[in-house]
Amino acid sequence: MFAFNHFNFNVLDLDRSLTFYRDALGLTPVGDEIRAADGSFRIVYLGDGRTDFRLELTWLRDRKTPYNLGDLEYHLAMMADDYEAAHAKHGAMGCICYENPAMGIYFITDPDGYWIEVIPPKAR
């Protein structure tokens, strides 16, 4: 048997990403940050305070160019308790990159270009 534990996004600017995930989705660091002794990488796990699932943000010191995210045929999905308020907040933040009103969902993009789907509670 297996259970979900975490998903990883590599990021160019860890502080900018931490701010985005806190402000856009209310995700905050959980557990201890992992830092390489030589400073070559940092790993921070983010949690929602409700589930055990974590988003791992990995920063690599020597990475200077944006990551190639391919065709973005993958995404992380988050359920919003108050979908309308979340949509308004993300609209004001300017991070909505795609909407599908027929399905009742939309996507936001983080500072590195990763897509996060936002779904209403009924989509459980």
Are 121 and 23 within 8 A, CB to CB?
no
User: Which domains does the chain show, CATH number per domain?
Assistant: 6-61+75-123 (3.10.180.10)
- pLDDT digit string, tens, across residues 25-52: 999 999 999 999 999 999 999 999 999 9
- pLDDT digit string, tens, across residues 92-111: 999 999 999 999 999 999 99
| pTM confidence score | 0.90
- pLDDT digit string, tens, across residues 110-124: 999 999 999 999 755
